[in-house]
Amino acid sequence: MSHTFWAGTADREARMSSTMADPGRIEEEGYWLDLAQGQGLGINRPHVEVESAFSSPADDTDVAVAQKRIVAEGYCQLAPGKVVPLNDPHHLVENLRRGIESLKCEGWPASFIFLYDEAWVLAGRMANLMRRVSGNEISFDALAWHVDQDRGEGGFSPHRDRQPDDATSTFRADGMAKYTTAWVALTDANPDNSCLYVIPKAHDPGYEAGDDEEGEEDPMSLALPTKESYQHIRALPTATGGALLFTHRIIHWGSRGRKSTEEEARAGTSAPPRCSISIGFSDPSYERPYLVGQPKLGVEGTNKLPDFRSRLALVCAQMISYFERFPVDSVMLRAFYRVFCASKDLYDDRYAESTRKEYARAVQEREGENEGGSEGEDMLDEALEIMLENEAGGGVDFEDDFDDLEADGAGAGPSQPKKARHS
């Protein structure tokens, strides 16, 4: 994709500061349709592309190579054309990228792209590929990024996606992981504008054995004990439409790119912000899908997608769960929680419980930052209610005293015991 497609940095700055998200309209389908007008995105459109878009163009050889690489190294790279066809007449990748740009301009997190059909068409293709490669099904841990290096933004800091108590048991006998993530680049992603980096399995002592949570050393230090060991770190630049598939145990991160030079900004040759989408897939015996009662995605011959209510419920819960990674103001956080409370019937119990706890943690963090006001007081009441309910229900893994609730710090890495992707 040509960089000239993009608005220049100054233009982007102007557009971003000129508009504001309106959390009061979050439940209005029409609001989201207006926001995406002209981007080729729809909501529950019976459009023809949906019917033919659930398979991945990867052939059996691609699948076999991907399986081998994932088992050997913990990840694999797929060239453009293996998730979405190269000459896609529906311009799925480009339209999603444009949609994310619009969301960002309006002040919404990029993950709101999952309100639109096209994100689920892509999810269907990813699900089809991942089922063939790993046997895992969509878990709905879905996120999107718009990383603007010119605003000093970076991707996620180093982490593992999951920290199971018994890591070894989360791999099948053939070595395939029971949890895998597919990450698709919607723009070129490279060291200039942010791309993923990994420490391959062979150089990571805790990959399969698990991490010593009581130990002195964190997993990064164990994997990088010497100067030479840093040479094992692998950058994974990915071209637009290319994909990375990786397991829940690989240490990975999204880098911070470099700020464009004045000359680049003037000439309009700055690298575009990095846009990407990632979705988690799991063996339900290891982790159940976050949403219940959803159509099976990525099955040829079916064309059903999650409905708008389910999409909104998912995105709002995800934004609560990832509050440290994608910070938002209190008004927006509260709007997410309102949607979450009205959507209880859609969530798996475990996911709902952990999201509620994350909301309480988010509120506590704000309290520490003195972000008060009447909104703040209501939020505090909600958080206290969650904690009291948890206590009454015999919950064990949630600090029961506000004073003990520690904000974990956005840079926390793989030493976090649970849900490392979240913290």
Ligand X SMILES: O=C(O)CCC(=O)C(=O)O
Applying CB under 6 A, which of residues 90, 132, 421, 422 lies at the interface with ligand X? 421
Residue 136: strand pairing partners = none
281 near ligand X, rule: CB under 6 A: no
Taking the complex as a whole, the smallest distance from the CB of residue 304 to ligand X amounts, in Å, to 25
Cβ-based nearer residue to ligand X, 185 or 386: 185
CB atoms under 10 Å from CB of 324, counted, come to 18
Q: Three-state SS for 387?
A: helix
Binding region for ligand X (CB under 6 A) out of 154-162, 163-171, 203-211, 367-375 = 154-162
188 near ligand X, rule: CB under 6 A: no
219 near ligand X, rule: CB under 6 A: no
Cβ-based nearer residue to ligand X, 240 or 276: 276
CB 282 within 8 A of CB 126: no
Cβ-based nearer residue to ligand X, 35 or 277: 277
95 near ligand X, rule: CB under 6 A: no
Task: State the number of binding residues for ligand X (CB under 6 A).
Answer: 11
Nearest-5° Cα angle at 181, 176 to 187: 135
156 near ligand X, rule: CB under 6 A: yes
Binding region for ligand X (CB under 6 A) out of 101-109, 120-128, 153-161, 287-295 = 153-161
CA atoms within a 13 Å half-sphere pointing along the CA-CB vector of 184: 28
Cβ-based nearer residue to ligand X, 171 or 183: 183
Applying CB under 6 A, which of residues 6, 32, 179, 183 lies at the interface with ligand X? 183
Taking the complex as a whole, the smallest distance from the CB of residue 251 to ligand X amounts, in Å, to 10
Q: How many residues does the chain have?
A: 423
Alpha-carbon span 75 to 245, nearest angstrom? 5
CB 97 within 8 A of CB 185: no
Alpha-carbon span 46 to 97, nearest angstrom? 22
Q: Which of residues 224-253 bind ligand X (CB under 6 A)?
A: 252
Q: Which amino acid is at 196?
A: L
Cβ-based nearer residue to ligand X, 77 or 276: 276
CB 295 within 8 A of CB 306: yes
Cβ-based nearer residue to ligand X, 127 or 386: 127
325 near ligand X, rule: CB under 6 A: no
Alpha-carbon span 409 to 327, nearest angstrom? 12
| Tokens, residue 209 | 């054995």
Cβ-based nearer residue to ligand X, 278 or 355: 278
Q: Which of residues 27-46 bind ligand X (CB under 6 A)?
A: none
Cβ-based nearer residue to ligand X, 32 or 281: 281
Cβ-based nearer residue to ligand X, 145 or 207: 145
Taking the complex as a whole, the smallest distance from the CB of residue 91 to ligand X amounts, in Å, to 22
Binding region for ligand X (CB under 6 A) out of 155-163, 231-239, 347-355, 367-375 = 155-163
366 near ligand X, rule: CB under 6 A: no
In angstroms and rounded to an integer, the radius of gyration of the C-alpha atoms of the chain is 21
Applying CB under 6 A, which of residues 139, 193, 278, 415 lies at the interface with ligand X? 278
Residue 146 vs residues 62, 84, 100, 270: alpha-carbon distances, Å? 28, 20, 7, 15
Which is nearest to 119 in space by CA: 9, 276, 12, 226?
Answer: 276
180 near ligand X, rule: CB under 6 A: no
Taking the complex as a whole, the smallest distance from the CB of residue 133 to ligand X amounts, in Å, to 16
192 near ligand X, rule: CB under 6 A: no
161 near ligand X, rule: CB under 6 A: yes
CA atoms within a 13 Å half-sphere pointing along the CA-CB vector of 198: 22
Applying CB under 6 A, which of residues 40, 155, 219, 414 lies at the interface with ligand X? 155
276 near ligand X, rule: CB under 6 A: yes
Q: Three-state SS for 273?
A: coil
181 near ligand X, rule: CB under 6 A: yes
Q: Which of residues 121-150 bind ligand X (CB under 6 A)?
A: 145
Residues that bind ligand X in the complex, under the rule CB under 6 A: 145, 155-156, 161, 181, 183, 252, 254, 276, 278, 421
